[in-house]
Chains A and B, each alone.
Chain A
């Protein structure tokens, strides 16, 4: 009886623990993972760009950004630049961010480009 109660409690709590902390806000994730290359203002002018062979996308460029579908944006964040035939300098973030967080970033990109 006691053990079945424990199992029940564990079966409720473990999935919660596995899910980890609540997802970080898109703005916070952008500041941590994207700003280093895409810049503090999202204009593609991050601190890392000086020696890059391919310059990062300017997320404030409405014309360029609106040519990408949400599906493509999700794919490039999740699997990296090469997954959409773009630069290897854009890494995959699927090991770092949850699907929900990546969805949040795609929405945040729409805010940055106002498109």
Chain B
């Protein structure tokens, strides 16, 4: 009865409205609201379409789609489009210009690649939407290059609705996993891969890359999948680093309990951070990454949207007790497993074998190296009629050399797709930091004085040959010239003095001279909602991660890992005050494991200029 009366009142309202509009718009036979909706749709498509990219592999016939997301030309596409295209490609846009593009970074597991179009700093770029707000039934549209039709520079627009949200689509092996993706009935055909999915307002909500095709030939059957833009936002910093970016694992497997339907831990690695945070076999996982977990797919959806190394909130039940922890995610792939997967298989020619394959991380030629169905190094899934397929249009022809005019934007290095962009970001971060204070002359002994929040006096001295701390617990000392990984004083800090020593070292000599320093990307740190830029610096076996606030340029924290299988010493900087023209932190929060080791309020910063030898 309720529905009946609701329908009735709709009827009344609509007929009244109809009468009104017929009178007010006698020329048109269409409601004003409909005409307005049409205008809005046209405007949204026009805006969105201007940012679409049609990717054409250089020297071959393959290609796909993409979308520009920054005015200086960074653009998203699929890994499975970029990989066969090689390190450079040609990208057409609706303005009728064919732009050169170079590869920046790749996420083979998530099937995302970041490329950069050259030649402008005022590209039309897509506005990023919030894919977590997308609802089934929302209008959406795909823009792209299906069947490589955009040889006239004009992309194809297909309109539809969102058919499902938070879909989990199994990977092929460990690559091309579509976690937490969007499903649409907008036509997605071969060549649409890598192209944008927009909401009705023309905001970018996903990157199309996959469809269920099964037995009807490789054309649209109304079931396309798009990688959610919120997932890509998590990976954006990592992609800009020019690296081969990895996804994450918890270090534990979960399954649904047959009896009560709970999601429980069925296996856990004792070397995982989750184990150190207290997670054990049989515990029930109730919340992960801020989402309630009721099924294994929900768990996998959360896991799939985070890069390796991120700290993600986890809630679990253990013997009736609830635990809330921040857990560091480990890499989905161990060691250089991922790099090997994305590199071309060994070439048959002996002289090529000698050359490091890293020179051509993207230069696979499908013709020369036909994917073998059983070879799990093959990044493209074998055609399996049961599983949704990625929709590449493979190129014909071999890998292309880097055109001379693009050579300056491309640099090879093992583990990277394009090391040029890593250096670019490393230098950007350091230059921004230098603007907040130049420490290059402060190579003498540093003396830092203050109190803990409990009120006890603290004095820390950082000299070339020793670092000492006088704190409530007593005196401690480390020798920077000995093995750093074994000197974890003060006890319970996880290595505060070594961390401060490395901090000073980085501030004074900078990343170029520090040792092996690279740009990791962006990630979250506790108690800060904005992501921070991360530089990773290695001395011996000790790895440090320096956190920089992208807005202010300040160094806001660091982590020092004496060994990668133990908890780091974490230092978070705050209360920056000007000391001799440098913005120096006067609050240090030191954490180790699950605990806050100390919070220091500093009153005196003596940064000696000359070395005191």
Partners in one complex: no
Interface residues of A (CB under 8 A from B): none
Could you tell me which B residues sit within 8 Å of A by CB distance?
A: none
